[in-house]
Amino acid sequence: MGSLKLYFAGSIRGGRNDAELYARLIEKLQKYGTVLTEHVGSDSKTEELRKELEYNDEYIHKRDMEWLESCDALIAEVTQPSIGVGYEVGRAYAMKKLILCLYRPHEGAKRISAMISGAVNGENFFVKNYQESEIDGIFEEFLSKIK
């Protein structure tokens, strides 16, 4: 299973509060294959994310859509609301990709969008409320669905 292409989505311009969490999730996903979007977990002080923020919007959109089309699955951390992440999830849904949206319910957290929770179908679109300590089992179960 180590040769999968995985697309990780997390907030970049919508807020970087969870960047360290994204980095830990990406590191766990890398045991299953290549995370095409590993820059999402980069600290804003790193060269990788600074360079990413210098690209023009058209370049980023084209590149990310190519990555999305080529991926085996999309894993999105949706606790931090982000228009970009919602867009990526919607595009992946239209492409009939295998999708996992991760949400950490906690005090003061906004509710997950009905457009995400209402799309769950038990076949290729899943939403999991989680704590970070549960993530290994969640990834194992989800990624075993890839045929």
Neighbours of 89 (CB within 10 A): 24
DSSP state of 1: -
Place of tokens 């590993």: 38
Task: Say if CB 122 and CB 115 are below 8 A apart.
Answer: no
Report whether 22 belongs to an annotated binding site: yes
- Residues comprising the chain, all counted: 147
> Does 113 count as an annotated binding residue?
yes
Q: Which pair of structure tokens corresponds to residue 74?
A: 């999309």
Give the annotated binding-site residues for substrate: 22, 88, 113-115
Give the annotated binding-site residues: 22, 88, 113-115
